[in-house]
Amino acid sequence: MNKFWVHAALFTVALLYGGNYSIAKFAMPEYINPFGFIAIRVLVSTILFWIIHHFISDEKIISKSDYIRLFFSGLFGVAINQIMFFKGLSLTTPINASIIMTISPVVVVVGAYLAGNERLSLRKIIGLLVGATGAYLLITKDGAEFSNQNFVGNLFIFINACSYATYLIIVKKLLLKYQSFTVIKWVFLFGGIMAIPFGIPNLMAIDWLSLPMVAWSSILYVIIGVTFLAYLLNSWGLKFVNSSVVSIYIYLQPAIATTIAILLKSDTFEVNYLFYALLIMSSVYLVSKK
């Protein structure tokens, strides 16, 4: 496989996610509760993955242990990931969320080390400390009290980043064994079983006929772009490159998210953001440099 297309796919994912921080807030929480957004997102995407897989492949899961790995992929990649992200995004700003997400590549390296797939050098340990410092300063910049809305939102985004990193590590072996659609349809089924119940009451309360076009556009972008296409492209890319390479593209998200947020006037830029971002991004250089 030509690596150009792999990196093009991963760059597209970064663009989709970068826009998500601002576009998702068009509908949430004013028109749709975060948990309701998760339910509709996961439900529709799961249906799409299963329908398309039915027409393009008859591949089956052949091992009970693979079902266990799929379950945990759904737990970390869909359930915890989605719940923490959308709840956190409703409580914090797009720029905050995008910068905190850049801790994911560091978590991937730690996870790979714990799994015995990679060694930890002094340079990587320093990088981990630098990244953790940047994330801590950003999360607590408005005060470390749980009564502070931004702090709680930043903390949820941090948990989401760790959960997504765990997913990238767990799902890698499955994608080397099965087709992307086969893996993703099961990941979303298991994840949906855990995540959708949280949003059912909120879905029932939505007055769908009164939703403005901006809310519908936000919903469609999140379902088709950030969920269906992004998960599919990421999964396809994981078949050809390591989890750490896929996670590195998260570092493009703050620049994309910041630009979009400022253009849409949904957030304002502060100089200290640049300092926090440089700390976190410096960590990826130290951690990922060969």
pLDDT digits (tens, 9 = 90+) for 11-70: 899 889 888 878 887 887 778 888 888 899 899 999 999 999 999 999 999 999 999 999
| Cα–Cα dist 171/185, whole Å | 12
Cα–Cα distance for residue pair 148/283, rounded to 1 Å: 27
**Residue range 125-131: mean pLDDT, rounded:** 76
Give per-residue burial for 166-185: e unless 16+ CB within 10 Å, then b.
bbbbbbbebbeebbbbbbbb
Residue for token digits 């556009």?
Answer: 217
Angle among Cα 173, 179, 181 to the nearest 5 degrees reads: 110
| Predicted confidence (pLDDT) per residue in 207-266, tens digit | 888 889 999 999 999 999 998 999 899 889 888 877 777 777 776 777 677 778 777 776
The Cα–Cα gap between 81 and 161 comes to 7
Cα–Cα distance, 135 to 155 (Å, whole number): 10
pTM for the whole structure: 0.79
Contact residues for 101 (Cβ-Cβ < 8 A; gap 6+): 17, 157, 160, 161, 164, 250, 253, 254
Q: Where are the alpha helices (DSSP H) in the chain?
A: 3-23, 34-56, 64-74, 80-91, 94-100, 104-114, 122-139, 149-177, 180-205, 213-220, 230-238, 243-248, 253-263, 271-288
Greater pLDDT, 156 or 138: 156
Percent of the chain with pLDDT over 70: 89
How many Cα atoms are found within 13 Å in the side-chain-facing hemisphere of 240?
A: 14
